[in-house]
Each structure stands twice: as C-alpha cells, then as structure tokens.
Structure 1
C-alpha cells in the first residue's frame, strides 16, 4: 500500500513580498498547478514568522508516487517551471513528506 505524499515548497520572489507581481504569480500558479491531474488540496501560504526567511509557500497532496511523478512530468508543470518558476522565484526549499 502506498502512502499519500504531501509536497510543499517555500519560496521568495524576485518581485518581493506583497507586490502586484507577487499577487499575480500566486494567482496564476494556483490556476495552473491545481488543474494538473493528481493535484489534491492545493494551498498557498503567506509567511508570518520572523524565524523563517521565506515569504510564501505552496502545498499539495498526491495520492501516491505515481500521481506525484505524473505531476512532475506533466507538460503544464514543465512549462510552468521553465517560464514562471525559474524566472520569478529567487530562492526556495522543497520538501516531500509521507505520514509516519
């Protein structure tokens, strides 16, 4: 039996925090990424702690490794990474968890 995967990424944008460009990036990201087959419970987060240097976060769940791999290889995701993520994100940390 395979476990669901919680995929999370925290990041900063070249455009800064709480800018119109950041808001557009977050909105567009939700529209594009949440529509990819296999993505469940897509969420966007805004950092409130001074203990962390990242401004934003995305979280989503995949039913299993196959769904996660399908997402990573999906043309919409590949295009998003090439045309938006690599150009607009200044730094990030990605984590993937399964239940313990």
Structure 2
C-alpha cells in the first residue's frame, strides 16, 4: 500500500467575528505563516456560504504523507502559531484529517 497524502481541514469561528478587519488580518497572516511551513501544499482559506452550519471560516492543506503531516504538527512555527494566535483568537473549531483516496 502506498503512503497516501493527507488533507488537513479545520472550520472555525473567531472572537473578532466574521466581517471585521481583525478577521481579515487573521486570515491573511495565518495563510502566510502556515503555508510557508515545509511540507504544506495547497493551502487554502475559505469563507462559509452555507446556512447549514454556523462556522464562518475554513483552512485546508495537503501533506504528501504521514511523515510530512507529523512534521508540520511539531514544527516550531506551527506550535507557536497555535499557542499565540489560534488559542487566543479562535472561539470554536472542528478539525478533520483524511487520507486522500487514490
């Protein structure tokens, strides 16, 4: 069995709300920081348009394999981001990690 790539997705709300300058700044700076971590591919930022959920935003990224995914999770930029930005600015979230069916 080949090592499958992994899609990491998170949907979330911000304490700052969804239509604020603070939210815009959070999304832009998060994309810059996280997309630059080695192993991160196809980083995308989403805004919710459905009324079927009450989450406002989403991030999605792909990792080539489990090793790249695990390296991301312990990378100093990621751990600092989680401690200094995510925990303080995100009010709620749901995370999902899936191997890509090939």
TM-score calculated relative to the size of structure 1: 0.98
State the aligned residue count. 100
Partner Cα separation in structure 2 for residue 67 and residue 92 of structure 1: 23
Instruction: Specify every segment of 5 or more residues in structure 1 that has no aligned partner in the other structure, as ranges.
Output: none
RMSD of equivalent CA atoms: 0.6
- TM-superposed CA distance for 1:24, in Å, is 0.3
Q: Following the alignment from structure 2 to structure 1, what is the Cα–Cα distance between the partners of residues 88 and 100?
A: 33
List, as ranges, runs of 4+ consecutive aligned residues in structure 1 with deviation greater than 4 Å.
none
> Corresponding residue for 2:58?
57
Distance 1:62 1:9 in 2: 14
TM-score with structure 2 setting the length = 0.96
